[in-house]
Amino acid sequence: MAPAVDPELVERARRQFSGRCDFLLSAPALKFLPDPAVPEIALAGRSNVGKSSLLNAITGRKSLARTSVTPGRTQELNFFDIGGRTGELPDFRLVDMPGYGFAKAPPKVVETWRRLVRDFLRGRVVLKRCLVLIDSRHGIKDVDREMMEMLDGSAVGYRLVLTKGDKVKSHELQAVHEATIAAARKHPAAFPEVLVTSSEKGWGIAELRAAVLADAEL
């Protein structure tokens, strides 16, 4: 299910992520954001979609991003420096966005999340792409569609990435993959290809790394 990717780009991405991958800061509000000095790639997804695990898999680290059995733990924008020398500007940054769809959160928490994410998406000039993670076991949910519409409205290009592909049977995964591709084609800001990944098995990780590097270099 993985699209053909230039082997040279895959190798460059592997080398890129084998270097510096450092946590920079957490921003609970826009005033705490780092200076917009380098390209940024953001990761968005429902709570418990496996975002932290995928971030760890992409970077080849076991605990760069904290994983938790408690959905919705990340309620800030977390920035990670990728590449470059320590003490200098990185080549680009990954931004771990707050998980959405947490049903038990108070309305004020949900509204604070919505405002933070919306303002970040609309005003961050260095944001090159967003990765919207979709759980292969469930496919696209209403809260995912809301996120996609927010990105469409913010004119931020995004890729849909299926996570936990090893948790469903092959024919079910194929059906979810095809349905997700069909959904992507209905959204103007969505990338037409959909990657299938498994943080546990390593499926699609090399291709996703290559996609992230290509987007960062746009």
Give the model confidence (pLDDT) of 48-57 as tens digits: 899 989 999 9
- Report the alpha-carbon distance of residue 153 to residue 129 in Å, rounded: 14
Query: What is the pLDDT at residue 71?
Result: 47
pLDDT classification of 68: cutoffs 50, 70, 90? very low
pLDDT in tens, 163-206: 999 999 999 999 999 999 999 999 999 999 999 999 999 999 99
Query: What is the pLDDT at residue 11?
Result: 96
Span 29-47, mean pLDDT?
95
Query: Between the CA of residue 68 and those of 65, 74, 106, 167, 203, what are the distances in Å?
Result: 10, 9, 20, 18, 22
CB within 8 A of 38, min separation 6: which ones?
89, 90, 91, 92, 93, 126
pLDDT in tens, 102-130: 656 778 877 888 889 999 999 999 999 99
- Report the alpha-carbon distance of residue 166 to residue 211 in Å, rounded: 21
Q: Helix axis angle, 205-216 relative to 51-59, nearest 10°?
A: 80
Secondary structure percentages of the chain, helix, strand, coil, to 5: 40, 20, 40
Higher pLDDT among residues 98 and 38, named by residue: 38
Residue 55: which of 45, 47, 64 has the closest Cα? 64
- The chain-wide mean pLDDT, for the chain, equals 91
Question: For the ranges 31-35, 113-117, 137-141, which has the lowest average pLDDT?
Answer: 113-117
Percent of the chain at pLDDT exceeding 90 = 78
Span 21-38, mean pLDDT?
94
